[in-house]
Structure 1
């Protein structure tokens, strides 16, 4: 497995498919496995580059606290290591915030932006959710119980009615060891610190905003903030899906992503 390096932090990544470059950025407490169900279809039209953020997956744990700019620098290190001068960027949740900051700091590296279930500024509701998730991550020692709590918040009602929550968590844990509690807490703190709202008009990349009507973590106003704030942004609303549309309805998510990217 190849690694990129940013200031001694090693970042696991992989490349597959062929075509224009498409960078995939996962969000809080997620790794490259987030894209498993949609990546084969994306690979048919794009050379996809996926990586694990620091404190996630096979990437190194952070040596200490960090800020969103460190995650942007990690992302640039991955692009450099993968030989990508300019890429379409698809970011989910916190990955969408990283993508926004990347487009603001390095506009020459971003061919387009797709922001899935992301935000620009948290309100009181989202602050409460993020603080609860951070406190649960800090206080619950049992990995399975902690993941059940987080997945309950993240997944939509339709998904939770059709799949047992404990079974979902068992599959996640079977795929690899859970993040350390310290690592997850650091990532939730990044969520609490993130704010791009006033700078959105400076984003020049062609942007696609996807949000889901069943998203309990980041409900409708946050997708609307991005659509209103980024000049000429395209909007897609995914009906009845929760915070993880690439898992809950891969076909609808893939169709929306490719529908925007076709011709760009």
Structure 2
């Protein structure tokens, strides 16, 4: 398919498999392109709609000046799903791609079904070494690095029997633009998901390469222990396990991704709902509501947290952005001023722009009546002014 245009970049994208199959997003590692998934995709595309892309700074995607952040790379992945009309997907990331998958699991939980974290860690290496590598690549280019990395990517046995394949990966690395590679090194340097993993609620499969010197089996153990619903698999491979052992890699994914999602119990639904409620409405607002719990309202608060937020706002059929706009329109129609104010404030947490709110309020003028829309416009102006004052630097 042609490149997909996002806000500031074009991403090189390829989609394989049936259009009506469950979507599976594959996120590549540092120094590779979507071609690293070729052999795995041949197997997985029989049962999944496999979406793969060259990450920002790699292959056929754009490489704007850095530094990048994992959040920026995660929002690229989220924008890719939006551009393809995919509300919810399984996500599999390897190494740096695994950091992107962790970001999605932590910050875009409503878009993620199941997660595969392969040859990765909550924090990879140390920041100083990544910054040194970025500086070296900017100064010297990719050649010196390309001559040394394959030995860290593959076992000696693989290089001996698949020398041509290893050489192609090396050539891909050498052909990358130094600025894009360096900017991704800087993203990895700042990434640390250790404080966030306990909040991941999606089922997770952690894959380790038994001979991986970069993200070792011990890193995978730490990931699996930190995540609520995680399981571990070891593959006979080094760092790029999806390239070195594609059949075993696909065999690990297939049954995990095909499992039906177990219905959450009330406790888990409440925890997930509270997380989404904070993400949509803001942590401070929700915590104020929790501090006002009483014998009269505690069961009501539990009800809306479990069902409104733990069930409806997490459904895959609509993105959170659309749900936010719909809620604003319904609050205008029902003349619920307090709730409308709340959701106007919350809209920017869901990526809703002021122009989009304006369009929705104009729509309500036709279908809910001019007086209702007039009140809503006044309320929106108050909320926008309040938000502008909060973000204005002190004089």
Greater relative contact order (Cα 8 A, min sep 6): structure 1 or 2?
1
Partner of 2:15: 15
Shift of 1:80: 0.9
Partner of 1:257: 253
Shift of 1:73: 1.0
Shift of 1:29: 1.5
Matched, 1:225 2:222: yes
Residue 123 to residue 13, structure 1, CA distance change in 2 (3 Å):
closer
Any idea what the Cα deviations from partners look like across 1:170-198, whole Å, max 9, x if unmatched? Answer: 42476798111222111112122110011
Any idea what the Cα deviations from partners look like across 1:5-54, whole Å, max 9, x if unmatched? Answer: 33221112121102101011112111110100110110000001111111
Contact 2:146 2:171 in 1 (8 A): no
Contact 1:29 1:187 in 2 (8 A): no
Q: Report 1:35-184 matches (<5 A).
A: 35-122=37-124, 130=130, 133-134=133-134, 137-141=137-141, 143=143, 145-164=144-163, 167-168=164-165, 170-172=167-169, 178-184=175-181
Residue 157 to residue 172, structure 1, CA distance change in 2 (3 Å):
closer
Distance 2:84 2:109 in 1: 18
Distance 2:42 2:74 in 1: 26
Q: Report 1:193-232 matches (<5 A).
A: 193-232=190-229
Q: Name the one with the larger helix percent.
A: 2
Instruction: Give the counterpart of 2:182 among 173, 182, 185.
Output: 185
Distance 1:217 1:54 in 2: 22
Q: Name the one with the larger strand percent.
A: 1
Contact 1:157 1:214 in 2 (8 A): no
Contact 1:42 1:254 in 2 (8 A): yes
- Using structure 2 for the length normalisation, give the TM-score: 0.61
Tell which deviates more after alignment, 13-22 or 148-157: 148-157
Residue 109 to residue 47, structure 1, CA distance change in 2 (3 Å):
same
Residue 191 to residue 123, structure 1, CA distance change in 2 (3 Å):
closer
Q: Which has the larger radius of gyration?
A: 2
Distance 2:116 2:179 in 1: 29
Q: Secondary structure at the match of 1:48?
A: strand
> Which 4+ residue blocks in structure 1 deviate beyond 6 angstroms?
173-177
Shift of 1:224: 1.1
Contact 2:3 2:10 in 1 (8 A): yes
Any idea what the Cα deviations from partners look like across 1:120-178, whole Å, max 9, x if unmatched? Answer: 02456xx68746754653454463x43221212221232234344xx446424767981
Distance 2:170 2:125 in 1: 32
Distance 1:76 1:49 in 2: 12
Shift of 1:244: 0.7
Residue 134 to residue 160, structure 1, CA distance change in 2 (3 Å):
farther
Distance 1:176 1:235 in 2: 29
Counting matched residue pairs gives 258
